[in-house]
Amino acid sequence: MVRMADRLGKVDLSDVRRMFEASSESDINLGLGEPDFEIPENVKKAIVNGVENGFTHYTSNRGCIELREEISKKLKKDNSVNVDSDSIMVTTGASEALYIASQGLFNKDDEVLIPDPGFLSYRACVELAEARSIPIKTSLDDDYKMRYENVQDKISSKTKAIILNSPSNPTGAVMDKEDIKSICDLSVDHDFIMISDEIYEKIIYDGKHYSPARFGGNTLLINGFSKAYAMTGLRIGYIAGQSLMIDEILKVHQYNTACVSSLSQLGAYEALKSSDRYVEDLVKEFRRRRDLILGGLDDLGLECGEVQGAFYVFPKVKNATFYVKKALEAGVVLVPGKGFGESCEDNVRISYANSYENIEEAIDRLKTINM
C-alpha cells in the first residue's frame, strides 16, 4: 500500500458529489451548486469564433490583458475597488483562486478564520496548506450573518487570514456593511489578510453587496463566472489584490495550470462586456424560486431564516442524515449539512438551482416523508 501524504488524511471528498452519484434519473436534484441555465448567447458565439480563428494557444500566465483590463473596470464600477490589470490574475474558477491563495499565503500552524456554516473548500484549502482552520460560527437565529464580535473573539497572535463569503453558500446570508467595515478595521489592527469570496455577488435579492476591498485593509478579492453567467464548465474566475501578493501567488498558478483556457477567457471577456440583461433575468428567476422554496419549507415547518442571496437554503432538521436518506427514497436529492462545518450536523443544504416546476414537485415529495 502506497503511503499518501499525511495532509490528505485531513480532507475528504465532498458529499455533494456522493449524493449525486447515489441518485437516479427520476430523482429531483436539489443538491447541486450550479445554475441550470445555458451560458449567454454572446458568450457562446465568442467562443465559437475563437475556435474558428485559432485562439487556441497558451495565453499569458496571468491571463489575457484585455480580460484583466475588463475585470479592472468591473471592479471599479460594481465594487468601488481600484486595482489595475497587473494586480489581477485569471484562474481556473474561484476554486483555483482559493487553492493557490492558500498555498501562497499560509504556513504550517497559521490560523485561518472560516465561516461555519461555510463552503466546503475553505477548510480543505486551509488544511492542504497545513494551516489550521478556525470556525466562526453563525446561527439561524441571526440569519446566519457573520458578525464582527464573533470574529473578534477568535483572533489570536497566529491569525493569518479570514475568509469571507457574502452572499453565502450554504446559507444565502448577506453580510451587513457595518460588520464588513469593522472586520476590515480588525484586519488592519491585527495584521491579517481578508480573502473575500464574492462569487455570488450578483445573485442577491435583498440587501446590497459590499466588497471589503473598498474599505482598506489587505484584501484578496476572489470572483468568477460560474454562478452569474452559468459558466461552470468553462472553469474561469479571478483573484485581485496587492500586486506583491499576486506576483507571489502567480508562482503557484504557473506550476499548477500555467494559464486558463484561452477560449474560456474569450467567453469571460464577452460576459463582462455585454451580459447585464442575462444576469438580471437569471436573478429574477432565482428570486421566484427562492420565494417558492421558502414558502414550501415553511409549510413543512422547516425554518431557514432570511435568505438574501445565492441559491441555497440551509434549514435545521431533526436527524439530518436520516432526513436526507428519506428524501432520497422520496425522490429528492439533498445534501447533509455536516460537511459545511462543525455546527451543521442538524442542517440540510437545499439548492434551488432547478426549474420552478421541479421545485414544486420536490416540495410535494418532501411532504410525503414520515420521520
Ligand X SMILES: Cc1ncc(COP(=O)(O)O)c(C=O)c1O
**Phi, psi dihedral angles at 137 (to 5 degrees):** -80, 135
Give yes or no for residue 169 binding ligand X (CB under 6 A): yes
Give yes or no for residue 196 binding ligand X (CB under 6 A): no
Which residue matches cell numbers 454562478? 227
Nearer to ligand X, 348 or 363 (CB): 348
Give yes or no for residue 93 binding ligand X (CB under 6 A): yes
Give yes or no for residue 88 binding ligand X (CB under 6 A): no
Contact with ligand X (CB under 6 A) among 43, 199, 333, 348: 199
Strand-pair category, 312-313 with 348-351: antiparallel
Q: How far is the CB of 29 from ligand X (least distance, A)?
A: 14
Give yes or no for residue 63 binding ligand X (CB under 6 A): no
Q: How far is the CB of 98 from ligand X (least distance, A)?
A: 6
Strand-pair category, 219-224 with 332-333: unpaired
Give yes or no for residue 33 binding ligand X (CB under 6 A): yes
Q: How far is the CB of 371 from ligand X (least distance, A)?
A: 29
Q: What letter represents residue 354's amino acid? A: N
Nearer to ligand X, 215 or 311 (CB): 311
Is 183 within 8 Å of 148 (Cβ atoms)?
Answer: yes
Q: How far is the CB of 125 from ligand X (least distance, A)?
A: 10
User: What DSSP designation does 347 have?
Assistant: B
Site string for ligand X, 216-255 (x = CB under 6 A): --------x-x-----x----x------------------
State how far the Cα of 149 lies from the Cα of 154, in Å rounded to an integer: 9
Give yes or no for residue 197 binding ligand X (CB under 6 A): yes
User: What DSSP designation does 140 have?
Assistant: G
Q: Which stretch binds ligand X (CB under 6 A): 93-101, 156-164, 242-250, 268-276?
A: 93-101
Count CB neighbours of 130 within 10 A: 16
Is 108 within 8 Å of 131 (Cβ atoms)?
Answer: yes
Q: How many residues bind ligand X (CB under 6 A)?
A: 13
State how far the Cα of 238 lies from the Cα of 236, in Å rounded to an integer: 7
Q: Which stretch binds ligand X (CB under 6 A): 92-100, 202-210, 316-324, 359-367?
A: 92-100
Give yes or no for residue 305 binding ligand X (CB under 6 A): no
State how far the Cα of 150 lies from the Cα of 213, in Å rounded to an integer: 20
Give yes or no for residue 95 binding ligand X (CB under 6 A): yes
Residues 6+ apart with CB under 8 A from 67: 90, 265, 268, 269, 272
Q: Which stretch binds ligand X (CB under 6 A): 17-25, 69-77, 91-99, 263-271?
A: 91-99
Which residue matches cell numbers 489584490? 241
Nearer to ligand X, 283 or 330 (CB): 283
C-alpha cell of residue 35: 445554475
Q: Is the dihedral of CA 245, 162, 116, 80 positive or negative?
A: negative
Site residues, ligand X (CB under 6 A): 33, 93-95, 119, 165, 169, 197, 199, 224, 226, 232, 237
